[in-house]
């Protein structure tokens, strides 16, 4: 068992903003265990063999094929990673769960969505909130792929405002079952699921309630036609109509009125897994792009040799690398937090619930960052392919279309942006994360005279780590003043919240990529890690630009006169490089490596 | 006839960078003549009646329907706007031509492409380079829509490197015709065209030659299957195979070896028209987005009232407005330049050719800027629609897919970016645009002490116009030093070129939007133009951010030590606002107007 001191090294959710993290204290993809690497290779192999060669089927809306692949994934045990052994699962930790989400999603968003809807929001609510009976009855079937699950929350009038649904659950006269009636929309896996997690309102309850509903067409459940969608074409998405559907009272999830909480917690886990589910798709886009760029000759030159193309490859690789770094860092935090909770006597269920909830901020950050990175990455992939990128004969356009959904579901990126800052402010109010003291320190620092000492930057990343520290000050300065100014009304200032969220997101991503690389360089030496060092520097450089922009926008929106001048000066100080990196050279370096290896090779 | 002095007020191509333009000297959409407005309404009406209600047909790849609509457009005279009256056309000026491209493209990229390929690259080469006989024989049929044209330049191995095609033209023994053999790819309108502009190489000529080829399946011409594409689904795109296709020698366009020149000049016109062809699509996306946002209620609030949505609507409107401003400004410059050339004794043909060539830089700028704006606009459109944006039942996803092609064809945006700067540097070398003197002046200014006078900003846009002047200095400083440093080898430094191109693009767009709005405010008063003023300010603000970023990147890539420090200081000075705009408030203002009008209303 860990000592309290060891436990304290694990940051609490949101604390990354106010504490410095040592690179030894984060988990990185370089730290995968042998078991994890084997798992990764198994999944990759499955995708290479069964899925990638059949990509066309997914684009042709072959829903049955999606189901078939899901069934095969079940046979391989891939649907049961997160399920405890006593419920027929593999009982692996959160990092391994993420790893499987990551690699199983490489070939098509259709499978990523089917997998995510089933193993995530379709199964987790029972795992996290189910009674022993419910778990025993349903989880083993879901874990094996004998049954598939879906999650029915959204309604025509209730999307982002998930608690506003009109679906009703009425207790029968004998008190033995509920009768559910209502219309659900956009339900992934609806076309082939056996079990539905359904949210409905009992009487005039403030909050909705969750139910486990077995799919039975003779029990008042009707499915709409398949929706025709921009992307993830072979992911089944239908409306579901409930008309006095009988559900035994034993199938209520947790307590009456707990539905909204269940829904939100299921989404927290869903969000970080969604980030993972964008990663391997990006790796493959980068690898296919560099292969094409190495082969395609124009002006007697492989286009990979043109600076315009190198620039794209480098940016694609650097954001990919950052996305990986942050995703697995947060995943391990969650895993550790669960272990701590368990060691403190929590049940596995409680521990998992609280462990993920703790990092809800990081989950939202990752959802937004990685879903936007993959959009950009696939967009550049198309551009590198030129006219061929516009053709269904190359894998770029489907990747671009598939990526688009990730910015919409599991909470839109707008909702998630606002959540990141909103949750942080709430944590501060509750005293879980002390933002006020550091915010005050920054304010004091602004009034003081800056130090003109020439700092010692001889150590790897010393300037970069100092910069991360300064960027945190930018957030504390902007968000701190905003909270002071607007108090709880801050939530009405959405443009400001969005700007603050972008600052927060970039800090987390940039810090993660620097720490991962520092750890790597300490292990392998700086020479061997030189491309990774370049990627970390490039990512940070871009982050500084975004933070400068968003900081300025935020400041100008609420501060005037002297206050504005002082804060702008602070912004300048906190975003200033002593040694401005030559990003053109960094990109060249990164691209040259990717080009030489002919793949994303980190 | 204009006097020399009047003519001199019309900027030469690229001169916008070194001369100040008075708002009275630019043409704006507010200056459309009654005839032009009638034309616009005719086209809009045609689209509303015949095309928009049938959008689904385009998405279902109904190529025949595209042809039918093109035929109807021909009946309305819309294919003949740019064609002189003596050749059966309407003989209207360049602005009117742009106007028709703009509004005919509002509903679907499939029609935009078919229209552009036919009236632009399919017809213009004959109009611009054809002999009297060629013109008389072919142009009237193309202008009426009796025949349709296509343009066969690209080959599997020759895309961006258009002159590298392998298609051969061999003179027959009797010297009466050429036999053309080769494979062309990505040919728009191939499926229903009667005439093809084909580029092929005679013997081992350095440059390809253009030919007018009548489509005849019995003359060795075979078509590939329709390509399956990401977007513009009902635009016919096929491979075309020529196998000893007999073409009479009279059908050579211009001289042997002129093909590359013809191809490039056709593309120049094509590029600015492509910018126009993105405009009405954007207007409609904005209007549909605001209508949806006003109707859709979440959290008991129309989502249009959320700052996150307002921010999007405002940015969409401001870039739209800027795109219009710059497109019509350049269009009128071209029209005027043609008139001047004609008044100087050029034939209409020569005048048009030279008129467009003169503004090749602006044409590339517009192509890049507007094609990227529409991508961003449609992307936000999807996001505003939430889950519904991902559905084929709403008009957002097709708009997003259709927009994607505009960044690829008519020269990829990478090629066009490099062209903007490359052409400017060439013009400077030839003495057509004096960049050296102003670049030297900026360098001198950097050595001097900046003025600390408080400037008088009481006039509308006085600070903004000063900012435009300073942004020009950024370009001169960065590009000037880069040219000095690298000389002709600059073209190998593509990342730097791309950064310089972005600076140039933003300057042109921002200046155009400021000047248009100044002209409007002078006419209608500042009160009535208040939203437009906000849009101009917002656009400029964003431009300053981009220029700051790209300038910094460029400088760090080639300057070190003191030189770098001096240039960074210059950059800071040249991008500094005295009064930092509150962009959050600007966006609120713009959004509120669009929301109140329930449409893009400028
Ligand atoms: C392919 C697909 C699969 C899906 N699968 C499932 C599933 O399996 N189960 C399920 O229950 N649901 C599913 N969904 C639904 C998905 O979760 C919702 O689409 C999403 O939550 C957004 O809700 P909405 O579509 O109603 O958009 P809206 O909530 O109407 O949002 C529209 C726009 O308004 C913005 N907005 C909304 N509220 C605010 C606010 N307060 N402040 C600022 N901006 C705001 C949004 O960010 C968005 O830009 C799926 C959707 C799709 C498209
Ligand atoms: C739907 C569609 C319709 C089309 N219609 C027509 C038509 O009607 N007639 C016709 O002739 N053609 C047509 N085209 C072809 C189009 O013009 C080409 O696709 C385009 O010019 C790009 O060429 P490419 O596809 O060979 O890409 P490539 O030239 O191979 O470019 C691939 C990538 O390399 C980059 N690149 C290439 N050269 C350089 C360089 N020197 N420096 C830096 N980067 C470079 C490009 O920017 C791009 O990112 C069409 C294409 C499509 C997809």
Question: To test ligand 1's pocket by mutation, which of B289, B293, B385, B386 has the most ligand atoms within 8 angstroms of CB?
Answer: B386
What lies within 8 Å, CB to CB, of B300 at 6+ separation is none
Q: Who among B227, B414, B545 is closest to A391 (CB)?
A: B227
Q: Compute the nearest-CA separation of A553 from chain B (Å).
A: 7
Task: Report how far residue A323's alpha carbon sits from residue B346's, in angstroms, rounded to the nearest whole number.
Answer: 60
- Our measurement of the distance from residue A454's CA atom to the centroid of its chain's CA atoms, rounded to an integer in Å, reads 39
Distances, alpha carbon B515 to alpha carbons A215, B27, B461, B511, B532, in Å: 63, 9, 9, 6, 11
Segment A299-310 shows an average pLDDT of 98
pLDDT bucket at A4, cuts 50 / 70 / 90: low
Counting every residue, how long is chain B? 602
Q: Does B141 touch chain A (CB under 8 A)?
A: no
Helix, coil or strand: residue A298? strand
Asked whether the beta carbons of A21 and A465 are under 8 A apart, the reply is: no
A405 with B418: Cβ contact below 8 A: no
Where do the H-state alpha helices sit in B359-454?
360-385, 396-405, 413-429, 436-447
Task: Report how far residue B387's alpha carbon sits from residue B385's, in angstroms, rounded to the nearest whole number.
Answer: 6
Residues of A in contact with B309 (CB under 8 A): 414
B382 with A404: Cβ contact below 8 A: yes
The residue nearest atom 17 of ligand 2, judged by CA position, is: B409
The residue of chain B with its CA nearest to that of A555 is: B582
The residue nearest atom 7 of ligand 1, judged by CA position, is: A187
What lies within 8 Å, CB to CB, of B138 at 6+ separation is B126, B130, B147, B195, B212
Cα dihedral A540, A544, A547, A553 in deg (nearest 10)? -160
Which ipTM did the prediction report? 0.98
Select from A103, A104, A76, A102 the least CA-distant residue to A90.
A76
Select from A105, A96, A404 the least CA-distant residue to A278.
A105
List beta partners, residue B149. Answer: B195
Helix, coil or strand: residue A253? strand
pLDDT bucket at B446, cuts 50 / 70 / 90: confident
What spacing in Å lies between the alpha carbon of A241 and ligand 1's midpoint? Answer: 19
The residue of chain B with its CA nearest to that of A383 is: B408
Q: Does B553 touch chain A (CB under 8 A)?
A: yes
Ligand found nearest the CA of B153: 2
Distances, alpha carbon B352 to alpha carbons A489, B13, B149, B229, B333, in Å: 59, 14, 20, 34, 12
Ligand found nearest the CA of A110: 1
- Name the helix (H) or strand (E) containing B324: helix B307-343
pLDDT digits (tens, 9 = 90+) for A147-170: 999 999 999 999 999 999 999 999
Select from B115, B110, B85 the least CA-distant residue to B99.
B115
- Our measurement of the distance from residue B100's CA atom to the centroid of its chain's CA atoms, rounded to an integer in Å, reads 14
What spacing in Å lies between the alpha carbon of A152 and ligand 1's midpoint? Answer: 13
Task: Report how far residue A537's alpha carbon sits from residue A347's, in angstroms, rounded to the nearest whole number.
Answer: 42
Q: Compute the nearest-CA separation of A130 from chain B (Å).
A: 29
Structure tokens given for A472: 């945190």
Q: Compute the nearest-CA separation of A337 from chain B (Å).
A: 33
Instruction: Count the Cβ atoms, other than its own, within 10 Å of residue B295.
Output: 11
Segment A317-334 shows an average pLDDT of 98
Please indicate whether residue B299, judged by its CB atom, sits closer than 6 Å to ligand 1. yes
Per-residue confidence (pLDDT) for residue A2, from 0 to 100: 47
Mode of pairing for the β-strands spanning A168-171 and A195-202: parallel
pLDDT digits (tens, 9 = 90+) for A172-217: 999 999 999 999 999 999 999 999 999 999 999 999 999 999 999 9
pLDDT bucket at B4, cuts 50 / 70 / 90: low
Between helices A462-486 and A561-574, what is the axis angle to 10°? 160
Task: Report how far residue B214's alpha carbon sits from residue B119's, in angstroms, rounded to the nearest whole number.
Answer: 16
Per-residue confidence (pLDDT) for residue A1, from 0 to 100: 42
pLDDT digits (tens, 9 = 90+) for A523-551: 999 999 999 999 999 999 999 999 999 99
Asked whether the beta carbons of B219 and B245 are under 8 A apart, the reply is: yes
pLDDT bucket at B2, cuts 50 / 70 / 90: very low
pLDDT bucket at B301, cuts 50 / 70 / 90: very high
Per-residue confidence (pLDDT) for residue B263, from 0 to 100: 94
pLDDT bucket at A5, cuts 50 / 70 / 90: very low
Please indicate whether residue B499, judged by its CB atom, sits closer than 6 Å to ligand 1. no
Structure tokens given for A152: 């029915």
Q: Does B587 touch chain A (CB under 8 A)?
A: yes
Distances, alpha carbon B546 to alpha carbons B59, B417, B543, B579, in Å: 36, 15, 5, 18
DSSP string, B409-420: SSS-HHHHHHHH
Select from B312, B319, B318 the least CA-distant residue to B289.
B312
Task: Report how far residue A89's alpha carbon sits from residue B298's, in angstroms, rounded to the nearest whole number.
Answer: 39
Q: Does B342 touch chain A (CB under 8 A)?
A: no
Residues of B in contact with A412 (CB under 8 A): 383, 386
Ligand found nearest the CA of B409: 2
pLDDT digits (tens, 9 = 90+) for A78-98: 999 999 999 999 999 999 999
Please indicate whether residue A159, judged by its CB atom, sits closer than 6 Å to ligand 1. yes
Please indicate whether residue A185, judged by its CB atom, sits closer than 6 Å to ligand 1. no
The residue nearest atom 29 of ligand 1, judged by CA position, is: A160
Per-residue confidence (pLDDT) for residue B436, from 0 to 100: 83
Please indicate whether residue B4, judged by its CB atom, sits closer than 6 Å to ligand 1. no
Asked whether the beta carbons of B417 and B498 are under 8 A apart, the reply is: yes
- Our measurement of the distance from residue B145's CA atom to the centroid of its chain's CA atoms, rounded to an integer in Å, reads 24
Distances, alpha carbon A8 to alpha carbons A12, A340, B268, in Å: 8, 10, 64
Q: Which of residues 495-514 of B touch A (CB under 8 A)?
A: 495-498
Q: Which of residues 530-549 of A touch B (CB under 8 A)?
A: 545, 549
Task: Report how far residue A44's alpha carbon sits from residue A52's, in angstroms, rounded to the nearest whole number.
Answer: 10
A584 with B391: Cβ contact below 8 A: no
Mode of pairing for the β-strands spanning B168-171 and B195-202: parallel
Least confident of A530-539, B79-88, B112-121, B446-455: B446-455
Q: Which atom of ligand 2 is nearest to the CA of B189?
A: 8
Cα dihedral B313, B317, B318, B324 in deg (nearest 10)? 160
Residue B60: pLDDT above 50?
yes
pLDDT bucket at B7, cuts 50 / 70 / 90: low
Ligand found nearest the CA of B193: 2
A556 with B412: Cβ contact below 8 A: no
Cα dihedral B373, B378, B380, B384 in deg (nearest 10)? 150
Select from B330, B331, B336 the least CA-distant residue to B7.
B336
Residue A450 per-residue DSSP state: P
Task: Report how far residue A511's alpha carbon sits from residue A464's, in angstroms, rounded to the nearest whole number.
Answer: 9
Please indicate whether residue A188, judged by its CB atom, sits closer than 6 Å to ligand 1. yes
**What mean pLDDT, rounded, does chain A reach?**
95
Question: To test ligand 1's pocket by mutation, which of A186, A200, A237, A494 has the most ligand atoms within 8 angstroms of CB?
Answer: A186
Task: Report how far residue A421's alpha carbon sits from residue A400's, in angstroms, rounded to the nearest whole number.
Answer: 29
Catalytic member of B410, B464, B506, B511: B410
Structure tokens given for B275: 């910018």
Structure tokens given for B318: 């401001």
Largest pairwise CA distance in chain A: 81
Count chain A–chain B contacts defined by CB atoms under 8 A: 179
Asked whether the beta carbons of A279 and A324 are under 8 A apart, the reply is: yes
Q: Who among B297, B307, B583 is closest to A493 (CB)?
A: B307
Distances, alpha carbon A163 to alpha carbons A379, A405, B577, in Å: 35, 22, 45
* Residue A553 designated active-site: no
What spacing in Å lies between the alpha carbon of A210 and ligand 1's midpoint? Answer: 19
Asked whether the beta carbons of B220 and B242 are under 8 A apart, the reply is: yes
Instruction: Count the Cβ atoms, other than its own, within 10 Å of residue A214.
Output: 17
List of domains in chain A: 4-148 (1.10.540.10), 150-259 (2.40.110.10), 260-415 (1.20.140.10), 431-597 (1.20.140.10)
Catalytic member of A315, A324, A397, A410: A410
Helix, coil or strand: residue B455? coil
pLDDT bucket at B8, cuts 50 / 70 / 90: low
Structure tokens given for B347: 């034939």
Please indicate whether residue A237, judged by its CB atom, sits closer than 6 Å to ligand 1. yes
Asked whether the beta carbons of B399 and A404 are under 8 A apart, the reply is: no
pLDDT digits (tens, 9 = 90+) for B487-541: 989 999 999 999 999 999 999 999 999 999 999 999 999 999 999 999 999 999 9
Per-residue confidence (pLDDT) for residue B5, from 0 to 100: 45
Task: Report how far residue B423's alpha carbon sits from residue B416's, in angstroms, rounded to the nearest whole number.
Answer: 10
pLDDT bucket at B10, cuts 50 / 70 / 90: confident
Q: Compute the nearest-CA separation of B386 from chain A (Å).
A: 6
Lining residues, ligand 2, CB within 6 Å: A 296, 298-299, 303, 306, 308-309, 383-384, 386-388, 390; B 117, 151-154, 159-160, 186-188, 229, 237, 405, 408-409, 412, 414-415, 494
Q: Which of residues 226-255 of A touch B (CB under 8 A)?
A: 227-231
Asked whether the beta carbons of B367 and B413 are under 8 A apart, the reply is: yes
Q: Which of residues 298-337 of B touch A (CB under 8 A)?
A: 298-299, 306-311
What lies within 8 Å, CB to CB, of B271 at 6+ separation is B363, B364, B366, B367, B410, B411, B416
The residue nearest atom 11 of ligand 1, judged by CA position, is: A153
Q: Compute the nearest-CA separation of A45 from chain B (Å).
A: 29
Residue B210 phi, psi dihedral angles, 5° rounding: -95, 145
- Name the helix (H) or strand (E) containing A425: helix A413-430
Select from B588, B543, B511 the least CA-distant residue to B519.
B511
Select from A347, A357, A351 the least CA-distant residue to A338.
A351
Distances, alpha carbon A17 to alpha carbons A409, A421, A475, B215, in Å: 27, 11, 9, 67
List beta partners, residue A209. Answer: A200
Structure tokens given for A327: 């995703």
């Amino acid at each position: 068992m860990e000592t309290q001191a060891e436990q304290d090294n694990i940051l609490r959710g949101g604390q990354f903003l106010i504490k410095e993290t040592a690179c030894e204290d984060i988990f990185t993809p370089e730290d995968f265990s042998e078991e994890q690497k084997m798992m990764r290779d198994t999944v990759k192999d499955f995708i290479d063999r069964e899925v990638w060669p059949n990509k066309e089927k997914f684009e042709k809306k072959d829903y049955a094929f999606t189901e078939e692949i899901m069934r095969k994934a079940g046979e391989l045990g891939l649907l049961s990673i997160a399920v405890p052994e006593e419920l027929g699962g593999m009982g692996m930790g959160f990092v391994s769960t993420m790893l499987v989400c990551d690699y199983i999603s490489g070939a098509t968003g259709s499978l990523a969505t089917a997998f995510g809807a089933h193993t995530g929001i379709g199964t987790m609510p029972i795992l996290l909130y189910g009674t022993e009976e419910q778990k025993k009855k349903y989880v083993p079937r879901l874990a094996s792929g004998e049954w598939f699950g879906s999650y029915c929350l959204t309604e025509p009038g209730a999307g982002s405002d998930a608690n506003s649904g009109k679906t009703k659950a009425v207790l029968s006269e004998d008190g033995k079952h509920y009768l559910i009636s209502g219309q659900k929309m956009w339900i992934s896996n609806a076309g082939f699921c056996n079990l539905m997690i359904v949210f409905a309102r009992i009487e005039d309850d403030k909050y909705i309630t969750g139910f486990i509903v077995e799919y039975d067409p003779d029990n008042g459940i009707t499915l709409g036609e398949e929706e025709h969608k921009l992307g993830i074409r072979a992911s089944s998405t239908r409306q579901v109509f409930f008309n006095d559907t009988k559900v035994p009272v034993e199938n209520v999830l947790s307590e009456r009125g707990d539905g909204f909480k269940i829904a939100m917690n299921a989404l927290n886990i869903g969000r970080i897994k969604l980030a993972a589910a964008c990663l391997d798709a990006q790796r493959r886009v980068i690898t296919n792009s560099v292969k094409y760029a190495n082969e395609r000759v124009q002006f007697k030159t492989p286009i990979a040799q043109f600076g315009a193309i190198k620039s794209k490859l480098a940016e694609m690789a650097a954001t990919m690398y950052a996305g990986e770094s942050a995703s697995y860092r947060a995943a391990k935090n969650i895993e550790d937090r669960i272990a701590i909770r368990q060691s403190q006597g929590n049940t596995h269920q409680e521990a998992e619930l609280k462990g993920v909830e703790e990092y809800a901020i990081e989950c939202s950050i990752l959802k937004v960052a990685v879903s936007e990175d993959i959009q950009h990455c696939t967009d550049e992939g198309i551009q590198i392919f030129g006219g061929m990128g516009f053709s269904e004969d190359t894998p770029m356009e489907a990747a671009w279309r598939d990526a688009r959904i990730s910015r919409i579901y599991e909470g839109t990126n707008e909702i998630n942006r606002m959540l990141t800052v909103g949750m942080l402010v709430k944590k501060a109010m509750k005293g879980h994360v002390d933002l006020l003291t550091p915010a005050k320190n920054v304010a004091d620092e602004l009034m003081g005279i800056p130090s003109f000492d020439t700092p010692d930057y001889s150590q790897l990343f010393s300037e970069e780590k100092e910069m991360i520290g300064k960027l945190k000050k930018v957030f504390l300065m902007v968000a701190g003043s905003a909270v002071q100014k607007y108090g709880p009304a801050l939530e009405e200032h959405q443009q400001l919240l969005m700007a603050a969220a972008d600052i927060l997101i970039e800090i987390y991503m940039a810090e993660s990529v620097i720490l991962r690389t520092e750890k790597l360089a300490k292990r392998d030496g700086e020479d061997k890690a030189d491309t990774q060092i370049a990627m970390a520097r490039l990512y940070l450089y871009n982050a500084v630009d975004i933070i400068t922009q968003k900081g300025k926008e935020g400041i100008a929106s609420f501060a005037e006169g002297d206050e504005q001048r002082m804060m702008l000066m602070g912004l300048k100080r906190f975003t200033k490089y002593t040694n401005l990196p030559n990003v053109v050279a960094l990109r060249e370096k990164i691209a040259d490596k990717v080009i030489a290896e002919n793949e994303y090779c980190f």
